[in-house]
């Protein structure tokens, strides 16, 4: 029996081929270049996309993803890109917006943006550590990556819908609204916290635009 993993070797070959074509390749082009059956190539690309090592654009072309660039030490940092995105979101919805990352067994608030207007509002303290099984930010951050053993049951629903709303799970009277930030090697989410129930509806589209902007930025070659 030979040592090593044929699947791993094939996956690395696909990744290397993508790296040689910054404009992207279709599944058929990857299969031809690597000498693989198209169905095998499709499965490998699905795995690479799921883990952030490859991305697929609207034209169906695959390129190297942010996870590969993070391993190589190149590409933009999520927190750096999130600063203007969070500022815009906080102004648009008139509520506190934050970037939450999974760090160990906690949901950690790594960036906070406050709206410019004055008045009563809920705020998150930078560096706050919250449980992963409660609160919109942590649940959505878990949902930004593939399923993992022991995750809360409702994370699957968040992964499916791309959105979660909670009430009073971390702070009395606070509504949380969060969406997963996909396509990065770190599990993360953008969260909005408010005391106004109606904002959990009006902020949905601005929040979706924010996370899509971060996903798109992370997918740049």
Answer yes or no: do 118 and 169 share one domain: yes
* Residues 124 and 160 reside in one and the same domain: yes
Tens digits of per-residue pLDDT, 83-138? 999 999 999 999 999 999 988 888 999 999 999 887 667 777 888 899 999 999 99
Q: Which of 43, 72, 101 is the last residue in one of the domains? A: 72
Same domain for 131 and 192, yes or no, is yes
Q: Are residues 30 and 93 in the same domain?
A: no
pLDDT value of residue 221: 39
Task: For strands 96-103 and 106-113, give the pairing.
Answer: antiparallel
Q: Is residue 18 a part of any domain in this protein? A: yes
Same domain, 101 and 18: no
Which pLDDT score, from 0 to 100, does residue 36 have?
A: 94
Query: Do strands 62-64 and 164-167 pair parallel, antiparallel, or not at all (unpaired)?
Result: unpaired
Q: Name the stretches of the chain with pLDDT < 50.
A: 1, 220-221
Which of the listed residues 21, 53, 72 is the one where a domain comes to its end?
A: 72
Tell me whether residue 142 is in a domain: yes
Identify whether residues 14 and 121 lie together within a single domain: no
Q: Residue 212 has what pLDDT?
A: 94
Q: Tell me the whole-structure pTM to 2 decimals.
A: 0.67
**Last residue of some domain: 72, 93, 115?**
72
Q: How many domains does the chain have?
A: 2
What is the structure's pLDDT at 217?
72
Residues 37 and 100 in one domain: no
pLDDT of residue 220: 43
pLDDT of amino acid 189: 97
**Which phi and psi (to 5°) does residue 95 adopt?**
-155, 165
CB contact at 8 A, 116 and 91: yes
pLDDT computed for residue 19 by the predictor: 87
Range of the domain at 48: 6-72
């Amino acid at each position: 029996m030979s040592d090593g993993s044929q699947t791993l070797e094939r996956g690395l070959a696909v990744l290397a081929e993508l790296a040689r074509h910054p404009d992207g390749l279709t599944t058929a082009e990857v299969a031809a270049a690597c000498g693989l059956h198209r169905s095998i190539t499709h499965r490998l690309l699905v795995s690479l996309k799921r883990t952030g090592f490859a991305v697929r654009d609207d034209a169906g072309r695959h390129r190297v993803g942010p996870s590969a660039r993070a391993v190589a030490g190149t590409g933009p940092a999520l927190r750096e890109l999130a600063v203007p995105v969070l500022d815009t979101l906080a102004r648009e919805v008139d509520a506190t917006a934050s970037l939450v990352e999974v760090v160990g067994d906690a949901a950690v608030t790594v960036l906070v943006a406050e709206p410019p207007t004055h008045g009563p509002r809920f705020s998150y303290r930078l560096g706050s550590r919250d449980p992963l099984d409660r609160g919109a930010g942590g649940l959505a951050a878990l949902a930004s990556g593939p399923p993992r053993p022991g995750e809360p049951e409702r994370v699957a629903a968040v992964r499916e819908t791309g959105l979660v709303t909670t009430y009073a799970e971390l702070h009395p009277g606070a509504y949380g609204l969060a969406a997963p930030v996909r396509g990065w090697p770190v599990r993360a989410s953008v969260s909005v916290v408010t005391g106004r129930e109606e904002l959990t509806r009006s902020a949905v589209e601005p929040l979706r635009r924010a996370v899509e902007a971060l996903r798109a930025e992370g997918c740049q070659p």
